Amino acid sequence: MQQAMSAAERVAQEDLVLFINACFACTGQSEFYGASERQSVSIRFVHEYILGNYRRLYARTLSAGVNHFNQALIIQNLLRMGAPRDPQQRREEGQLILAALLGLPPQRVYHLFRDLRQLRCNNRRTRAVMAAYLARRPDLHFDAVKYRAHVRAVAAHAHLRLPGEVGAFVFIGAKQRGGYTTPLFESVRRAHYAADAVYDLPYSIAQGFARKHRIPQDVFLSRIAGRLTGSEALRLLDTAERVGATGIDVDLSRAPLTKLCLYLLDRPLSERRERALEFVAALRGSTQRAIARSGRNQRLGRVIAILDRSYSASGSEEKRRRPLAVALAASQILRAVASDYRAIWTPGLPDIVGTASENSGDAAPDPGPERELLASAQGQTALGEPLLSALSAQPDLIVIVSDGFENDPQGACETIVRLFRQHLDRKRAISIVHANPVFDSDRLMPRSLGPSIATLGLRDAEDLLTMIGFARFADGSAPLSELEQYLEARVPRLLRRLTRPDRSVAESDPGTAASAGAAEVRS
């Protein structure tokens, strides 16, 4: 601890770190060791506690890069509480909310709006936010088709007058006399009667019509291929192959990294061996895009990652193999940004040829993505030996990706790091970070390996670099003021979204409920 903190400050600092950490990892879904109900009760409690005590920081957490589930939950809680009295805080909060909403996937935003409606949250601010969001949608016609029930619910809830034919479409639909002049709406109307019109619609909508018109699956998939979104195409690859549809062509390297890893780990082992070259190229491409998107061209020095592929990395029914996929993805990112990188998997990875082999020796080389692709979730969690061989190599940074349930033996990691720091590395020349893809509902945070190791939640490996930046707060060594500064500094970056040139309604401010940009859709 470089600087003495008052007790109150320390509590506040710990609370916030716990909260942000939970926000990186928790999604309210079940985990290997915990059921989903407990998760959602647990995370809701943390949210309400932080909102009640540290409202300003709570809102600013939106800019910390926490996951979508928690961003939506923060926005929901802020809107339910009504606007704060201080005009400056109100303004900042309003902007943060809108900026965060624009960054969320639309289905999640509409889901959030539906929840607000069910909670009967209908204050001025909520209505203004809904209006402002719809006004900024790049293609409201498309939304009206794909999320018709949601758009209708939002319009009714916030008393909005929707522009052009959108209102008529969402409220009357196909029964509109005389049809629509908007081509997309007209296609929907025609799709009720003509099988041909189905192919102009987004896939999820067309699917229902295809069933109605009894279009064979192979014909349907072949003709709709052009309209599939990236993740739809990825999901349908297998189906297409099975029914013999053609034309679905996925550029794997354009898939988001963690999603790609999930997909690759889902392939049978034999296929992973046969298509190794293609898969590795896809991993490379996707990694580069992930790093570019994170906007951080920081280079890390010499890095060693310890990646846990024990049986618990198989995840749960809802998050199958997610911890394993996060470890695989994190390894790709670190390999790309580190000047010198080595991955140590525990238990050791199988050989390319198929025989099991341990890579526990100190000098074992980096397995490389070809072998990492063969990872499966099996075996015990032995972190002690890998950590020792990492320490003896003296890198700049050690990243441990594990769910924190160490059992061979329990607590070895913590003791090793503590003794190492006390006696061999007083200057903390080696940073050690534990990234945990799993939220532990009992502790309200990702499970830690011990007090000596900073633990951070990591849902998507894409956030890894952001998270490493946040790591110095997690072990409690940085004072509260620095954490506040850190969050404050990230706020403008998030707000940049509001002033992008293609968005004409930059001056909109839902915080004050009177915005010129939203007027178009407001009643």
Binding site for another protein (CB under 8 A): 32-33, 310-312, 347, 356, 378-381, 384-385, 388, 391-392, 405, 407-412, 415-416, 419-420, 423-424
Give min distance, CB of 382 to another protein, in A.
9
Closest to another protein by CB, 29 or 71: 29
Give min distance, CB of 380 to another protein, in A.
5
Give min distance, CB of 270 to another protein, in A.
19
Give min distance, CB of 122 to another protein, in A.
44
Given the structure tokens 């005590």, which residue do they identify? 53
Give min distance, CB of 505 to another protein, in A.
51
Closest to another protein by CB, 88 or 392: 392
Closest to another protein by CB, 308 or 509: 308
Cα separation, 393 vs 376, in Å, equals 26
Contact yes or no for 144/129 (Cβ under 8 A): no
Cα separation, 141 vs 185, in Å, equals 8
Mind giving me the DSSP string for 171-209?
HTGGG-TT--SSHHHHHHHHHTT-GGGGGGS-HHHHHHH
Give min distance, CB of 374 to another protein, in A.
15
**Residues facing 302 on adjacent strands:** 340
Say if strands 439-440 and 445-446 run parallel, antiparallel, or are unpaired.
Answer: antiparallel
Contact yes or no for 476/434 (Cβ under 8 A): no
Closest to another protein by CB, 258 or 312: 312
Closest to another protein by CB, 385 or 460: 385
Closest to another protein by CB, 32 or 486: 32
Q: Is 281 exposed, middle or buried (0-12, 13-18, 19+ CB in 10 A)?
A: middle
Name the CA dihedral angle for 251, 256, 260, 262, rounded to a multiple of 10 degrees: -150
Closest to another protein by CB, 94 or 386: 386
With a CB cutoff of 8 Å and minimum separation 6, the contacts of 123 are 79, 82, 83
Before 202, cis peptide (omega within 30)?
no
Rounded to whole angstroms, what are the CA distances from 42 to 78, 238, 438, 439?
A: 18, 37, 14, 10
Give min distance, CB of 439 to another protein, in A.
16
